[in-house]
Structure 1
Amino acid sequence: GERDPFVDAVLAEDDLSLGERQPRTLEDLEDDYFDLIVTLAPEAHHAALELTRSLAVEVEYWPMPDPTDTGGTREHIMAAYRDVRERLKTRISRRFLLPEAGNAAD
């Protein structure tokens, strides 16, 4: 599909950017190698599981609300995208960042 301008806007609020990257389908990535695939929608999750069924790839499902379903004012739509951004930041931190020294036993 097309690159979503709301994604670019909420990333820019956190001084992040996708640069020149464009959306790609799972079929576009078929010949690439991954250790981990994170999916955000049930359809993508099922497709990733099907694509990787004979590969040693971990597939995780992080269910997220779909901000593209949000209507209303621009600010209302931006709030929905911000919510997803913040949820993803939390999940990424929990999954990939080292625990703080005081929480090493967790």
Structure 2
Amino acid sequence: MVGIHALNAYFDIAASAGGVNIVPHVRAAASLDLSYSLHVTKAGGAGSVTLTRSGQSRLADGEDKSLGTLQLSVGPDDTCHATLVVRVNGEQAEYAANCNPHRASD
């Protein structure tokens, strides 16, 4: 049985017109089925918002796969945090990133 150890995840986060594109990726060393949930929380002068997306995916050996794109309006003074929770065969791993391209670290 292939477990969470056969998986790696990362985010592509890039500024776009008026905001940010957040693209979570997963990469598998071996074929596996996974479920995931993506949570993005943004807070700033205009208030706060939390967006959630979840789903399932199948990866082939060595495959690197995008889990979709989330677009969000983010200002230079806003905080933005993205968290991806991935589940494989009863195990789970969590990956997090600052998703405000205007702020180097949070």
TM-score by length of 2: 0.21
* Greater Rg over alpha carbons, structure: 1
Higher relative contact order (CA 8 A, sep 6+): 2
| Structure with higher helix content | 1
The two structures have a TM-score, normalised by structure 1, of 0.21
Higher relative strand content: 2
